[in-house]
Chain A
Amino acid sequence: MEHYTMNLTLKVWKQKNAKERGRFETYQVKNVSSEMSFLEMFDVLNEQLIAEGKEPIAFDHDCREGICGMCSMYINGRAHGPWHHTTTCQLHMREYKDGDTIVVEPWRASAFPVIKDLVVDRQSFDRIIQAGGYVSVNTGNAVDANALPIEKHMADEAFASAACIGCGACVAACPNASAMLFVSAKVSHLAMLPQGSPERKERVTNMINQMDKEGFGSCTNIGACEAECPKGISLENIARLNREYIGAMFDGGSQNAK
């Protein structure tokens, strides 16, 4: 594809902190290369703002390789922009043409309060993981890797679920601001492996309770999360989470989950 440059109008959400009301600010960005990533375009804009003595726009980013789950922009109504299976850092400016207007908002959910501008607080995800997204392992020598046989297709499916990078696009895209796709990926990935099996009932109970406590909405199977997930986490994970939940619901027994 041929290289070209463009001038863009950006409408970006500016918000001083969690308490103050935010508003849209309009910026002109000149000479943007079609080879740039979306975040590099923001770098150019921020350099420009700093040179003008204005405050740069705060946004989250880390690896810029599409694997860390840190970047989080809601671009023209789409989480991580319009490209399929793509994080914001992997969205490139060749998607846009000269004269385009792009509206950029932070993830919007009560459970993800805005810290500043486009940066949101996603610690609610960490607390859900702390509630059950782990396996308890005794200390001592590492067990031989081949001691536990795992079916190939189960290992593959568990891996596909584990691909979730916890970016929160599912919550941002969901009309109910539900975190079910994230929680289901974490529950699935551990439930499908023998190491995760002993704690499965306690895990699903505690993680769902924490999810509700954090103020996420409930799942109504709309499917916008799956459509926007940069890692292709499928709705089948939510069905599996529901099965896990029903299993824990009817368990008569010994597990003392709250």
Chain B
Amino acid sequence: MSWKNAFNSSVGKKIQMALTGLFLVLFLVVHCYVNAMIFWNDGGEKFTEAAHFMGTNVVIRITEIGLFAFLILHIVQGLKLWAQNRSRRNTRYAVSAGNATSKWYSRSMGILGTLILLFLVLHISAFWAPNRASQTMGNGELDLYTMMKEAFQSLFVVVIYVLGCISLAWHLVHGFYSAFQTLGLTMNKYKSIINMVGVAFSIIIPLIFALMPIAFYLHWIE
């Protein structure tokens, strides 16, 4: 099979979704690990040190370009597949099976993904974009810890972040398992392990993320 055939077929597109999705899962682990440094409650000392490394290390900065490329591919391909799949049934059913044959979150990956995308636009323009802009201007890195602390004093912002984390959690419950299924790795022997790790991951990572704005808002960390 030619590469063109491989990437343009419906299965090829799903493989792209799976691989970029798993890369984003790895990114979540790193992002979560670095940001969880705030829980040392040391006035942001350890967090700032880690953030400085992430913001200046050459390897990390190059990987960051790849991260954005994969993120955009995941979004564009996902939305295209969603639109295409919807067009495969011109007349809708009058009565639908609803939750009798499948899970709501499995059917709602497009909507959940779009919610995460909306959240990401807000999130990136609040932290990542101004920090990189400042670095590019030659003004050095911004004090991200203070920025977080100030941003999360607003209940509205905290609610938006928690909703973002909930969307992410449901997206992951299906996405994690789905990626392995698309890569053909869900044989009976591994299925239960993949499902268990997937559900645990989908709960733990978004929970840690959600605790960050909550902790600042409730002054658990100063």
The answer, yes or no, to whether A239 is at the interface (CB within 8 Å) is yes
A251 and B186 contacting across the interface, CB-CB below 8 Å: no
The verdict on A111 contacting B88 (CB below 8 Å), with A222-B107, A228-B101 known, is yes
The answer, yes or no, to whether A227 is at the interface (CB within 8 Å) is yes
For the complex formed, measure the closest distance between the CB of A108 and the CB atoms of chain B, giving whole angstroms. Answer: 5
For the complex formed, measure the closest distance between the CB of A60 and the CB atoms of chain B, giving whole angstroms. Answer: 18
For the complex formed, measure the closest distance between the CB of A214 and the CB atoms of chain B, giving whole angstroms. Answer: 10
B183 and A246 contacting across the interface, CB-CB below 8 Å: yes
Type the 1/0 row for A235-250, where 1 means its CB is closer than 8 Å to any CB of B.
1101111111110110
Q: State which of A92-100, A130-138, A160-168, A170-178 sits at the interface with chain B.
A: A170-178
A side interface size, CB within 8 A = 53
The answer, yes or no, to whether A258 is at the interface (CB within 8 Å) is yes
Size class of the contact patch on chain B: 35 or more
Type the 1/0 row for A205-216, where 1 means its CB is closer than 8 Å to any CB of B.
100110110011
The answer, yes or no, to whether B166 is at the interface (CB within 8 Å) is no
Q: Which of B5, B12, B93 has the most CB of A within 10 A?
A: B93
A248 and B15 contacting across the interface, CB-CB below 8 Å: no
The verdict on A221 contacting B182 (CB below 8 Å), with A108-B92, A173-B101, A212-B9 known, is yes
A223 and B186 contacting across the interface, CB-CB below 8 Å: no
A227 and B102 contacting across the interface, CB-CB below 8 Å: yes
Which residues of A168-190 have CB atoms within 8 Å of chain B's CB atoms?
A: 173, 175-178
Q: Which residues in B have their C-beta under 8 angstroms from that of A248?
A: 1
Q: Which residues in A have their C-beta under 8 angstroms from that of B5?
A: 205, 209, 258
Q: Which residues in B have their C-beta under 8 angstroms from that of A175?
A: 85, 102, 107
Contact of A211 among B10, B90, B109, B187 (CB under 8 A): B10
B97 and A77 contacting across the interface, CB-CB below 8 Å: yes
The verdict on A245 contacting B11 (CB below 8 Å), with A175-B107, A235-B181, A238-B181 known, is yes
The answer, yes or no, to whether A103 is at the interface (CB within 8 Å) is yes
The answer, yes or no, to whether B95 is at the interface (CB within 8 Å) is yes
Bound-complex Cα distance A115 to B103 (A): 32
Q: Which residues in A have their C-beta under 8 angstroms from that of B84?
A: 217-218
The verdict on A223 contacting B102 (CB below 8 Å), with A109-B88, A249-B12 known, is yes
Interface residues of chain B, those whose CB is within 8 Å of chain A, are 1, 5-6, 9-15, 81, 84-98, 100-103, 106-107, 109, 174, 177-178, 181-188, 191
17 contacts between A and B (CB under 8 A): A77-B93, A108-B91, A109-B89, A111-B88, A175-B107, A215-B88, A216-B88, A217-B89, A220-B178, A221-B178, A227-B101, A236-B188, A239-B184, A241-B11, A243-B184, A244-B184, A246-B183
Known: A108-B91, A208-B9, A223-B102. 6 other contacts (CB 8 A): A103-B95, A208-B11, A217-B84, A242-B11, A249-B6, A251-B1
